[in-house]
A and B are shown apart, each in its own frame.
Chain A
Amino acid sequence: MDLNSIKPDQVLDAKGLTCPMPMLKTKKTLKGMAAGQILEILGTDPGSKNDIPDFGNKGGNEFLGLVDHPDGYTRYFIRKG
C-alpha cells in the first residue's frame, strides 16, 4: 500500500509528546472511530516506532505502516477494526 496516498479519517498530532502520551491518545482516538476508518498519528518520540506498530495490531485493528516526514516527525497509520 502506498502510505503517502492514504486519506486518513482523523489525524492525531502527538508531536513533541513522549511515552506514554502518544499511546494513550492513540487508544482514546481509536475508541471514538468507526470500524474501517483510518487514523493517522504524527509523532516524534523514538519509542513510538516500536509501540505504535505493536499496539496498532491489537484488538482487531490493523497497523498499515509508518513513514518518516522530511520535517523530522513520523506518520503512522492504523485502520480501526
Chain B
Amino acid sequence: MGHDSIVSSVKNEIRKNYAAVFEQNWPVWLAGLFLAVLALQIYLWGESPWGIAGGYRNWGDWILYLAGVYDHHPTFAPWLSPMSLSNFGLFTGALISALMSRQFKVRRAPMFEYVKALAGGILMGTGAVLAAGCNVGGFYTAMAVFDMGGIAMMFGLGAGAYLGLKYLLWEMEHLPQDWFKINTKARPATAGMGWQAAQPFAGAGLLLAVVGAFYLYAFLGKTVSGGLLFLGFLIGFVMHRARFCFVRAFRCPLMTGEADTVKAVALSLMVYGLGAAVIKWSYIQDPMTGVYHNFWMGSLIGGVIFGVGMLLAGGCASSTLWRVGEGNTKLLVTLFAFALTNSSFAALMKKIGLFDKLGNGVFLPDVISWYLAIPVFIIFLLIWTFVAIWNEDSEKFVIF
C-alpha cells in the first residue's frame, strides 16, 4: 500500500467517524443513558442535583433587579449560580453541536407562533414555581431522588400535555391558517456557502473556549462552578445530538403513538434512580438531598400548567435551551417569558405565603422503606413503558 492510499484511507475514516458522531443523530435511548450518568455526576459534584428552572429564576431575578423592580440583588451572579451555570453550559453544548453538524441558523417562525411561545413560557414559568421545579428538577430529578413530588408532577405533565394537544388540534381547525404561514419573500438566499463550511471550525473554537473556561474557574478557586458549566455543556451536546426532548415522552403517545422517548426516559430514570439510591442509602450524601418538592398539590397543579405550556411552546425547560442553541427565535421568546414569570411569580408567592399550603417534600423510602421503594420505582417505570409500547400499535391513547 502506497503512502497516498494510507493518507486517503485515514482521511476517509476520519470523515466517516466525524459524520457518525457530529452529523448523524444519536439514538434517543443512548442519550437517555448519557443523561442519567451526567445527572448523577452533577449530583455528586455540585451542591444540588440537576435542574433548569432555578437557572431561569436567577436570570429573571437579575433582569427584574436591573430594571429596578426588586430592591435586593440576587444572591448569586449568573456566572456563579449553579443552575445558571449548567444552563449556560447546556446552551453552549447545543450551539457547538449545531455548528459541528452545520445546522446552526437563525430560524424565524410565523407571527402567531411567537404568541404561543410567549404564552407557553408564562405557563411554564408559573407551573415551575408551583411544582418547585421544571420538567427536569421537578419531574426527572425529583423522581430519581425518590421525592414523591416527581410522580405527582409526572401525572400533572401527562394531563397538561393532553389539554395542550387538544388546544393545538382546536387551533388547526378554527384559527386562520395564514397566521401560521411564514413570509418567505423577504428571505435572503442561503447565507453563503462560506459560512456553511466554516461552522465546524467555529464549533471547535467554542469547544476549546468551554474547556478553557473550566480551567479559568479552577484557577480562580471555583472548580465546582467550572465543573457545572462543563457538565452542562456535555448535557447540551448529548441532548442536541439526539434531539432529546422530554415533551415527546408525554405528547407522542397521545399524538402518533410513538413510544421511543418514553422508553428512553424510563431507562434513563432507572439508571439515575438506582445511582441516587446508592448515593443516598449508603449516606454518601444526606438522603434528603433534593427532597423539597411540593407533594402533592403543588407538583400536580404545577405539572398540569407546565404541561400545557410546553405543548404551546413546543419545548420544555431543557429543550427550549437547546433549541435556542440551534438558532430558534421562537423559543428565545419562551426562554425570556419563562425566566421573568418564574422570578416574579415566585416573589409574589413568597409575599402572600402560599408556599406552605402546596405540600412538602415526601421521601418515598421514609414512607415504604428502601426495600420497597426501589422495586416500586422500577415497576412503576416498567408499567409506563409497557403501556406506551402497547399503545404504539393499539393507539388506545391517541386522541387524533
Question: Which residues on A sit within 8 Å (CB–CB) of B190?
Answer: 70-72
**Interface status of B107 (Cβ within 8 A of chain A):** yes
Which A residues are in CB contact (< 8 Å) with B328? 18
- A18, B400: Cβ atoms closer than 8 Å: no
A-B contact count (CB 8 A): 68
Q: Is the CB of A55 within 8 A of B256?
A: yes
**A20:B25 contact, CB within 8 angstroms:** no
Contacting pair B255 A23 (CB below 8 A): yes
Partner of A46, one of B108, B110, B326: B326
Partner of B184, one of A15, A19, A20: A15
- The residues of A that contact B257 with a CB separation of less than 8 Å are 58
User: In angstroms, how far is the closest chain A Cβ from the Cβ of B195?
Assistant: 12
Partner of B172, one of A16, A24, A46, A70: A24
**A24 touching B330, Cβ below 8 Å:** no
Q: How far is the CA of A46 from the CA of B187 in the complex (A)?
A: 18
Check if A16 sits within 8 Å of B113, measured CB to CB. yes
Complex contact B258–A54 (CB within 8 A): yes
From DSSP, what is the main secondary structure of chain B's interface residues?
Answer: loop
- The answer to the question of B383 belonging to the interface, with a C-beta cut-off of 8 Å to chain A, is no
Cβ contact within 8 Å between B103 and A24: no
Q: Does A62 contact B (CB under 8 A)?
A: no
B288 near A: Cβ within 8 Å? no
Given A16-B109, A16-B113, A17-B113, are A24 and B189 neighbors across the interface (CB < 8 Å)?
no
Compute how far the CA of A20 lies from the CA of B251 in the bound complex, rounded to whole angstroms. 9
How far, in angstroms, from A70 to B255 measured CA to CA in the complex?
31
| Set of chain A residues within 8 Å of B209, measured between Cβ atoms | none
Could you tell me the distance between the alpha carbons of A34 and B258 in the complex, rounded to whole angstroms?
24
Number of interface residues of B (CB under 8 A): 33
Contact: A19 with B256, CB < 8 Å? no
Complex contacts, A54 vs chain B, CB 8 Å: 258
Q: How far is the CB of A67 from chain B (nearest CB, A)?
A: 15
Residues of A within 8 A of B110 (CB): 16-17
Instruction: Report the separation of the CA atoms of residues A71 and B181 in the bound assembly, to the nearest whole angstrom.
Output: 16
The answer to whether B256 touches A58, judged by C-beta atoms less than 8 angstroms apart, is: yes
Q: A24-B400, A27-B256 are in contact. Are A19 and B180 (CB under 8 A)?
A: no
Cα A46 to Cα B103 with chains together (Å): 8
For chain A residues 55-73, which have a beta carbon within 8 Å of chain B? 55, 58, 70-72
> Within 8 Å of chain B (Cβ to Cβ): is A25?
yes
Contact of A24 among B25, B184, B255, B258 (CB under 8 A): B255
Interface residues of B, Cβ cutoff 8 Å to A: 25, 103, 105, 107-110, 113, 168-169, 172, 180-182, 184, 187, 189-190, 243, 245, 251, 255-258, 311, 314, 323, 326, 328, 330-331, 400
16 A-B Cβ contacts within 8 A? A16-B108, A17-B110, A17-B113, A18-B328, A18-B330, A18-B331, A19-B245, A20-B311, A24-B169, A24-B255, A44-B107, A46-B103, A50-B243, A54-B258, A58-B257, A72-B190
Having A18-B330, A19-B314, A72-B190, one finds 7 other A-B pairs with CB under 8 Å, namely: A15-B182, A18-B109, A24-B172, A24-B255, A28-B400, A47-B243, A50-B25
